């Protein structure tokens, strides 16, 4: 035979505690991607053309200045006598 007995038991109480936790918002931002592309460019070529040009040389020549002096010559019996003027 089974006997049923009542017994007092302590049951722990459950307490619910709420906390507010901040969660960071994640945004999706599109970042542009930069690409470096090489481009062929035509560079004009420079031609150097040399030409010989004759430049007249000017030389300064000093020309001596000539003065003409007239001398009167008297002819006498005794010989020549020079008179300068």
User: Is the backbone of residue 30 left (phi > 0), alpha (psi -120 to 50) or beta?
Assistant: beta
Q: What is the model's pTM?
A: 0.18
Q: pLDDT (tens digit, 9 = 90+) per residue, 34-85? A: 899 999 999 888 888 888 888 888 888 888 888 888 887 776 655 555 555 5
| Residue 19 in this model has a pLDDT that exceeds 70 | yes
Average pLDDT across the chain, whole number:
82
The DSSP output letter for 24 is P
For the cut 70, the answer to whether the pLDDT of residue 3 exceeds it is yes
Is 70 exceeded by the pLDDT of residue 2? yes
SS (H, E, C) 47-85: CCCCCCCCCCCCCCCCCCCCCCCCEEEEECCCCEEEEEC
């Amino acid at each position: 035979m089974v006997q049923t007995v009542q017994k007092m038991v302590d049951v722990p109480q459950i307490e619910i505690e709420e906390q507010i936790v901040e969660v960071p918002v994640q945004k999706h931002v599109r970042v542009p991607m930069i690409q470096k592309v090489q481009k062929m460019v035509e560079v004009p070529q420079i031609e150097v053309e040399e030409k010989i040009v004759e430049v007249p040389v000017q030389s300064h020549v000093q020309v001596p200045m000539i003065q003409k002096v007239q001398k009167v010559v008297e002819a006498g019996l005794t010989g020549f006598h020079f008179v300068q003027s």
